[in-house]
Amino acid sequence: MSEVDPVAQPLPDRMPIRTREVETAYTAIYSWNYTSEFDKIRNLYAKALDQQWHAMRDLDWESAHRAPNYVTSFTVDGVPVHRSTFWKELDPMLKAEVQRRLFGHTLSNILHGEQGAMLIASQLVNVAPDMDSKLFAATQTVDEARHVEVFSNYLQRLGKINKITPGLGQVLDDVTGTTSWLHKMVGMQVVIEGMALSYFRRVRVETDDPLLKQMLHLVSQDEARHVAFGIRYLQGIVHKLSDAERSGAEDFAFEAVRRLKDPAVDRSIRQKLFELWEMIGLDPGETWARIWAELKGQGGVGHENDPIRDLVIPTLRKIGLLSTRIEVAFDQLFQAGTSGSQAISLDRQEPPADLHAWVIGQEG
Ligand SMILES: [Fe+2]
Ligand SMILES: [Fe+2]
């Protein structure tokens, strides 16, 4: 097994010098109204103050397992690899190594996403038109800073920080660069946050690493507030938008999802998996074909564990940004990705009424 990983970059022992620049030109808004206009948002701000935590003080960094199960399930291109006979019979040491590297790849993207969230939340302080949202966005900026801190620390245990995948990079650029306050809210609070929250919920249940569990408990508590902010605020304003503004916001959300589900992104994850298989002496093409044939035969190929379907689309529907026009576009997108994927229009689940309970109130 070679230790050289051409995709990953070595973990720097100081902050990397590499930069990514995005031009922005938003209008900063002062509000002279200091009294609360939206109690539901002011309450979330107060809750954020109550729930602040300190990454280095409140987490037990010594409690991590040496070779934990980071996640027990992973789906690539709609194929739940963990259900295959191949995966179940794989040598436990090799399985742990593949899992460590694949999780490192995903967590690196989460880390880059957290940095994007920190930049965008700080923009929201400027562009939000009312004081309640500015105060909340200020707490969100601190929350995201903590998330960057914990995930970068945790990644040191995995050994590598991988490059950002092109689709996620593009979405972050779009949300960072847009001049529209509404589009920033939809892109950040609904699409990016919703996806992250759903993923964290699953990993928190699946992992047996006490440190990762504890970390995701605290991070998810923050993310649940961020998504709740998006839902509460957007629910209040979407029905007041003109048709053109509403369509524009729908298109922005759709474009963000399209980029995240771009085959080039899926390919990067599949490519990563193939490289890992090659490293442990397997023929990637032959292994993939075997897994595909077995699971396809069982009807087991589809979009399971898809955070977009799980939380993002139900949220768009709830806040009034899922017209029939855009639902058809989502259907085409999902069905182009994996044959046999059920139409979005048939999904009827609501986003959870209490996001905090949904993400935290489960055993695991
Ligand atoms: Fe975050
Ligand atoms: Fe967040």
Beta carbons within 8 Å of 93's beta carbon, 6+ residues apart: none
- At residue 354 the predicted structure's pLDDT band, cuts being 50, 70 and 90, is confident
**How many angstroms does the Cα of residue 222 sit away from the middle of ligand 2?**
7
Q: Is residue 328 part of a domain?
A: yes
Model pLDDT, residue 269: 73
Task: Give the Cα-Cα-Cα angle 295, 297, 303 (nearest 5 degrees).
Answer: 45
- Which of 205-209, 294-298, 299-303, 312-316 has the highest average model confidence (pLDDT)? 312-316
Rg of the Cα atoms in the chain:
21
Q: Looking at residue 17, what is its pLDDT?
A: 59
Number of domains in the chain: 1
Ligand that comes closest to the CA of residue 124? 2
Percent of the chain's residues with pLDDT above 90: 48
Is residue 244 predicted with pLDDT exceeding 80? yes
Whole-angstrom distance, CA of residue 184 vs CA of residue 301: 34
Distance 193 CA to ligand 2 centre (A): 5
Q: What is the pLDDT of residue 362?
A: 56
The answer as to whether 19 is a domain residue is: no
Question: By residue range, what is the domain housing residue 168?
Answer: 46-54+72-360
Which residues lie at CB < 5 A from ion ligand 1?
114, 117, 144, 147
Among 97-101, 127-131, 201-205, 316-320, which stretch is predicted with the lowest mean pLDDT?
97-101
Are 261 and 54 contacting, i.e. CB atoms less than 8 angstroms apart?
Answer: no
Residue 22 placed within a domain: no
Determine the residue type at 144.
Answer: E
Q: Whose structure tokens read 């973990």?
A: 11
Rounded Cα distance between 117 and 219, Å, is 13
325-342 pLDDT per residue, tens: 999 999 888 877 654 566
CB 252, CB 191: distance < 8 Å: no
Place of tokens 């955070």: 307
Q: Residues of 151-171 as b/e, b for ≥16 C-beta within 10 angstroms?
A: bbbbbebbebbbebbebbbbb
Residue pLDDT, tens place only, 144-200: 999 999 999 999 888 878 888 888 999 999 999 999 999 999 999 999 999 999 889
Residue 62 lies in a domain: no
139 C-alpha to ligand 1 centroid (Å): 11
d(CA 13, CA 15): 7
Report the amino acid identity of residue 29: I
> What separation in Å is there between the alpha carbon of 74 and the centre of ligand 2?
23
Mean pLDDT along residues 114-130: 96
Q: What is the CATH number of the domain that holds 154?
A: 1.20.1260.10
Q: What is the mean pLDDT of residues 222-231?
A: 95
Q: pLDDT (tens digit, 9 = 90+) per residue, 249-258? A: 999 999 999 9
Separation CA 270–CA 284 (nearest Å): 10
* Nearest alpha carbon to residue 78 among 351, 333, 346, 339: 339
Domain membership of residue 312 (yes or no) is yes
CA of 278 to the centre of ligand 1 (A): 33
What pLDDT, on the 0 to 100 scale, is given for residue 1? 36
Q: Give residue 338's pLDDT.
A: 56
Rounded Cα distance between 294 and 129, Å, is: 54
The pLDDT of residue 264 is: 63
Query: Is 37 inside a domain boundary?
Result: no
Residue 219 lies in a domain: yes
Residue 62 has pLDDT above 70, yes or no: yes
Go through 111-125 and write b for each residue having 16 or more CB atoms within 10 A of its CB, e for each that does not.
bbbbbbbbbbbbbbb
pLDDT in tens, 22-39: 988 889 999 999 999 989
pLDDT of residue 137: 97
Q: Which of 125-134, 157-166, 229-238, 251-260 has the lowest mean pLDDT?
A: 157-166
C-alpha 230 to ligand 2 mean position (Å): 10
Residue 31 lies in a domain: no
